[in-house]
Each structure stands twice: as structure tokens, then as C-alpha cells.
Amino acid sequence: SVSVVLFTCDLRLHDHPPLHAALEGSEEVVPLFVRDRDIEAAGFGVPNRAAFLADCLAALDAGLRERGGRLVVRSGDVVAQTCAVAAEAGADRVHLAAGSSGYACRRERRLRRALEAQGRRLVVHDGVFTAVPPGAVTPGSKDHFAVFGPYFRRWSQERAREVLAAPRAVRVPEGVGSEPLPSRSGLAGVSRGLARGGETEGRKRLAAWLRDGLDAYADRGDELGADGTSRLSAHLHFGTLSPVEVIHGARRRGGPGAEAFVRQLAWRDFHQQVLAARPDASAADYRTQRDRWRGGAAAEEDVAAWKEGRTGYPLVDAAMRQLLHEGWMHNRSRLVTASFLTKTLYVDWRVGARHFLDRLVDGDLANNQMNWQWMAGTGTDARRNRVLNPLSQARRYDPQGTYVRRWVPELAGVAGRAVHQPWKLPDKERAGLGYPDPVAGLAEGQARFRRARGLDR
């Protein structure tokens, strides 16, 4: 018999339950990737992720060829294309990893209906994209956890499944046509410092991280200058790494670094289960605060300064420039820049979330939207009205100014702590820097936010 494995955000051969099941049950398997025109039309095919995706597909194809197979690529409507491939190959079933977004659920429903109409089956597998599937642990009376602490306790008690080996051989039936693989070259607007994608690259990064980085994570993970995080997020987003395998690897190593790191992976599952239960929260407030966010020309100018990294606050600008240059940002930088946009500038979180999705190589609907809501105080955070002060954050997480000097070259020559407050330098020195004055006062921004939220009544 023949099966189709439809790859989406799970572009790997190791620890891949759908591929494993297909190979157990069929002599021949068609590994399929559809360049989904709906995802592209919704604005998700942005250059950084398109480039990373091209690397991932090339690596997946290469891995399959080493095993005697190949990747079949099609483009168009994902349901129509999958059904067409299943018919061409004479497959009796299609294997798919479960997704958590509203779109993924609709795709699954449509695909099941269309395949059943052809007399074929859809088999959906959990535990591919997340370690613990959305809905697997719930707080009893509700369909999802809205508080991380209790979620994490339950999540930690779940028994992790075994890691599945990569297949030794894959036989693809003849006569199933494929389009050429998309290529990274020729894509305009890709960040210059973008990391490379693909399973081989992801596995190398994971091995190096477990060996050299993990132990110091609890102490140095939040230090911006140290760059001491795993940078595995894009591999987890595209599924070139399995979260189950990453967690097993960290737990085997053990220690405080591993504990802190596994906790972050639980955050990832946490946000996925929120979005799975509340798909509307990708665009609408999870908890409505009746914000009347700023609009108009002045707000637009502030947003432009924020996007381009010229707000006059060195830490915010360093972070935003890192995003432009690498298509990636440290978690602390994401928190500070999101607080700055939503609370100090009082601009709608959706504006910031869109910009992040346009640029981030790891841009992920659940992680991005739910983290933005967290920081805007419309999400699951109980401390909804806290404002992160970019100066105290800079003193705490970039005490030597290493991060700021790395990303804001105008300030590279400013000695000591003045690098975080260039507006305090003598006029003459300041004028020579070519670095802007702050777009807004921190105290005024905070007061405006408190008024808007009705906190000072």
C-alpha cells in the first residue's frame, strides 16, 4: 500500500510520528510539501521565513534522497493538491501532524472531508509540533490553562514519549510529479544576518547548545551581551527539531540550566494551548481592556522610529536593529520593545505583532500574538499594567552596554553607563553622535498609559 505524508511545520526526518507511522504501514510513501497559497496570501510568506523555509525543504529533500526517496513539492490549495497527489500515487491514507491555529484546524477538517469523499483516510498525529498537545492537560472545568504556573506543574507530570529514530530507507512510488524546490537565492528583503535553516543545521545547533551553552543558561540566559540562549526558535517553529527530542536532550544533561531551558519550552506549549482554545486571540484581545490605542500622524511617526531603531532609547533601538539585521531578537529585547510600543507609546499591540511577524524568522502565530498580548496587558499575564522601564532594563540586562554598542554603532565610542542615556551627555558630545533624542518621555508615557487604563482614579 501507499501513504502520503503531508509536511507542514515539521520539516524533519528524526522523531517524526507521521512519517514513522506511514513507513510502518505502507511499502511506499510520498513525502509531500505544498506551498500553500492561502498562507502566502495571508502575508506569512515573508522573505526571512521564505529563505529559512527554502533551506529546510532543501535539507529535507537531501535527507530523503540519502534514503532512496525524494520530496514532492506542489503549490496551490493545500487540500486540492494533497488529494491530487494521493490519487496519482494510489495512496489509501494521508498522515498529518496536528496543528494548533484556527487555520490548521480548518485545514485538517477540509482535508478529512475531501479525502473521505475519495474513499481515503486522514490520520492525524499529536506530539509533533508541541511536546504536550493542546488540550492534553486542562484545569478541570475549563478547556485551557490561562495561568502558566499550574499549567507548568501539570505539563511537567506528563510522560514524554520515546524519541523516534530517522528512517533508514524511504521508497517513493514512481510517476508522482514535483515542482522544483523553492530557492533562497533571488529572494529580496532577506535580513543580512539571517541564520541558515534545515534539519542538519538544526541538529548541529542543538548538539552544540547541549554541549556548550545549556549549563550557563540559568545564569546568563537573560544577559543581552552574552547572547546565551539556544537560538533554536526558528528550528522549533519549522519543526526541523522535535520539541520532544530537545527536551529529552536537555533533561539528560540535567542541572539548573536544563531546568530553566525546559521551562521555556513549556511556555511554548502553553501559548499553543491558549491559541488552540481561543483561535480568535490571534487578532482580538484575549482579555478586553477597552484600550483606545493612539492613532494619527504623531503615533505613526513614533511607530516608524520604533521600527527603524531610532527612538532615542539605546536598548530599544539596539533590539529593533538586531531584528532588522538578523530576523531574530533575544526574548528580553522582545519584552522591552513590546512594552515600549504598547505602554510607553500606547500603540496597539497588533501593530507591533505584525511588524514582528513580518521580520522574525521564528515568527509564530501562537508565540508571537500571545507574547504580545502578554506584554500589552491584554493577554494571560496577571500583572497587566506593569511597564518595563528601558533604562532599568538596560542597567540590569546590559550592564556593560555590550549589546547596545554592538547594534548601535553611533554609540560604540560612548564610555561607561552613559551609553544608556546619551541625552545626558554634554551638548557638544551629543551633537557629534548623530543619534536621535528620545521620541517620548518615559514618565509622560507611563502617565498616559495609566490614565488610559483608568488606574489613577
Q: What is the rounded distance in angstroms from the CA atom of residue 1 to the CA atom of residue 79?
A: 21
Kindly state the DSSP code that residue 212 receives in the 8-state scheme: I
Within 67-173, residue ranges assigned H as helices are 78-89, 102-117, 148-157
Give least dist CB 356 to ligand FAD, A: 6
Q: How many whole angstroms separate alpha carbon 79 and alpha carbon 183?
A: 24
How far apart are the C-alpha atoms of 63 and 84, rounded to whole Å? 24
If we measure between CA atoms, which residue out of 297, 281, 416 comes closest to residue 349? Answer: 281
In DSSP terms, which residues pair with 101 in a beta bridge? Answer: none
Query: Strand 72-76's sheet: what is its strand order?
Result: 72-76, 28-36, 2-7, 93-97, 121-125
Nearer to ligand FAD, 177 or 193 (CB): 193
Q: How far is the CB of 236 from ligand FAD (least distance, A)?
A: 4
Question: Among residues 199, 207, 236, 232, which one has the least CA distance to residue 61?
Answer: 199
Q: Which residues pair with 246 in a beta bridge?
A: none
Smallest gap from Cβ 385 to ligand FAD, in A, equals 17
Q: Considering the complex, what minimum distance in angstroms separates the CB of residue 96 from ligand FAD?
A: 22
CB of 266 to ligand FAD, least distance (A): 8
Which 3 state secondary structure label does DSSP give 97?
strand
Residue 224's closest CA among 136, 130, 319, 142? 319
How far is C-alpha 240 from the chain's CA centre?
Answer: 13
CB 354 → ligand FAD: shortest distance, Å? 11
Separation CA 163–CA 244 (nearest Å): 7
Write out the residues near ligand FAD by the rule CB under 6 A: 221, 229-233, 236-237, 261, 264-265, 267-268, 271, 330-331, 334-335, 338, 356, 360, 362-364, 367-368, 371-372, 375
Rank residues 231 and 417 by Cβ distance to ligand FAD and give the closer one: 231
Given the complex with ligand FAD, which of 204 and 451 has the nearer CB atom? 204
Q: Would you say 99 or 167 has its CB closer to ligand FAD?
A: 99
Which CB sits closer to ligand FAD, 7 or 238? 238
- Closest distance to ligand FAD from the beta carbon of 9 (Å): 11
Shortest distance (Å) from residue 90 CB to ligand FAD: 39
Q: Which residues of 133-169 are buried (b: 16+ CB within 10 A; e: fewer)?
A: bbeebeeeeeebbbebeebbeebeeeeeeeebebbee
- Identity of the residue, 89 or 246, whose beta carbon is nearer to ligand FAD in the bound complex: 246
Q: Which of 2, 265 has the CB closer to ligand FAD?
A: 265
- Contact of 31 with 71, CB cutoff 8 Å: yes
Give 351's contacts (C-beta < 8 A, 6+ positions apart).
303, 341
Closer to ligand FAD at the Cβ: 334 or 420? 334
Nearest approach in angstroms of CB 324 to ligand FAD is 15
Judged by CB, which is closer to ligand FAD: 61, or 201? Answer: 201
